[in-house]
Amino acid sequence: MKYLVTGGAGFIGTNFVKYILQTHGRQAQICVLDALTYAGNLSSLHDELQSELISFVHADIGDREAVDRILLEFKPDYVVNFAAESHVDRSIDDPGIFLRTNILGTQNLMDCCRKAWQNPDGSYMPGKRFLQVSTDEVYGSLLRDIPDGRRFDIPHPLCDAAGGRSESTAYGNDFFTEDSPLQPRSPYSASKASADMLVLAYIHTYGFPALITRCSNNYGPYQFPEKLIPLIINNVLQNKPLPVYGDGRNVRDWLYVDDHCAAIDTVLRRGRLGEVYNIGGFNEKQNIDIVGMIIDEVARLCNENDRYRALLAEPDRLPDRSLITFVKDRPGHDARYAIDPVKTATELGWAPRIPFAEGLPRTVRWYLDQRKWVTDIVDGDYQMYYHKMYSGR
C-alpha cells in the first residue's frame, strides 16, 4: 500500500512513518509531505530516508500545485493528514496561521484528492482512503467530578478483550464519545473542529472516502520540546524552574505514541468510511502528577547511572520537587479531557498496549539518550537539516 503522510516530519507523523515501515516492511511505500515549520524535524527520519521505500517532498498542504503533482506521480492509496499547527499557546498568540493550515490546508488537500480519485460518474477509485487526524480538544472540557482531585479506578474489560491493558484511572464519570458535541474552547481546537466539520461535509456532499480519528494527549520519542513532557525533562536536567499552569490539577488522558500509530493504521485498513473513531489511553493524569513523576524518574536514572548523572547541570544534586513553579493559568485552560475509545476497541479490536508506568520511563530514557536531538532543536540547528541534505538535489 502507498501512504501519503502529510506533516510526516512532526512528532506523531515521524512515529507513524517509523511504525509503518517496521510493521509492514516492503509491503508499504511512503511519501512524506511537510512544510518543515518550527515543529517539523526531518532529521528524525534520517535513517528511514535512506530507504527506497520512502520519499520526501518539501511543501505545504495548502499548495495545490505541489499536492496535485504528488497525487499524480505517487498515486497513494491512503492519505493521512497529520499536518497541523498544534500548540495551544501559539494559537492564543497568533490564531491566523492555525486557520490557514488546519482549515484551508485540509480543504485544499481534500479537493486535490477528489480531483485525483473521482471517476467521471462521481464514484471513487477502489481502495482510496483519506484519514483526518484530529484531537479530543474539539470536544471542549469535562468537569472534574471529584472536588479534592482524588482519582478512582475505572475497569475497562473491553480493553482486556482487545488484548490491551486494563490499568486505568479517571477523575470523573463523564467521557468524550464520538457522539459528544463539538465545543472547542481555544483557537487551536476551533481550527481542528472546523477541519473535522469540513471532512464530514465532504463525506456527505461528495461521498468522499474519508475517516476521522480523535486522540488523547500523545507522548513518546521525537516530541517537540515545548510540549509538557519533553519540556519538563529538559528543564529538570538544566535545574530550571518547572512551570505548571494554575494549580496543576488539569487532567489529560495520556496515550503512548506507538499505540496511537497502531490505531491509525487499524482505522485506515479496517474502519468504516465516513466514521469517527476515538483513540484514548485509558489513563488520566493531573499535570502536577506528570511533572512529579518525571522529576522522580530523572532522579532515579541519574542516581543509578553516572552517564545520565553527568547530563545534570548540577551533577552533585539530584533533582527534586522544589523545582516546581506555579505560573498564571493559560486563558481558557480546559479542566479535563477523557476519551472513551470503546467504539474503536469493539469494532476494530484495537486497545493501547503500553501502560503509563512503562511508557513514561521509556520516554524519559529516550530524551536522556538523545541529547543531541534535543540540543539541535533548542539551538535551531534542526532547521538546517533539510538544506544540508537536499540543497542542489
> What is the set of active-site residues?
136-137, 188
Q: Are 108 and 190 contacting, i.e. CB atoms less than 8 angstroms apart? A: no
Q: Give the pairing type, strands 29-34 and 54-58.
A: parallel
The secondary structure of residue 102, as a DSSP letter, is I
SS3 4: strand
User: What is the Cβ-side half-sphere exposure of residue 2, based on CA atoms within 13 angstroms?
Assistant: 13
Taking the C-alpha atoms of residue 81 and residue 134, their distance in angstroms, rounded to an integer, is: 9
Bridge partner residues of 78 (DSSP) = 3, 129
Return all residues near 202 (Cβ < 8 A) that are at least 6 apart. Answer: 110, 114, 208, 210
Q: Give the pairing type, strands 242-245 and 324-327.
A: parallel
Return all residues near 47 (Cβ < 8 A) that are at least 6 apart. Answer: none
Alpha helices in the chain (DSSP H): 11-24, 64-74, 88-93, 95-98, 106-117, 157-161, 187-206, 228-237, 257-270, 287-304, 306-309, 342-348, 356-369, 371-379, 385-390
Q: Are 207 and 201 contacting, i.e. CB atoms less than 8 angstroms apart? A: no
Amino acid present at 59: A
Residue closest to 296 by CA, chosen among 323, 276, 331, 271: 323
Residue closest to 254 by CA, chosen among 141, 180, 170: 170
Q: Give the pairing type, strands 169-170 and 152-153.
A: antiparallel
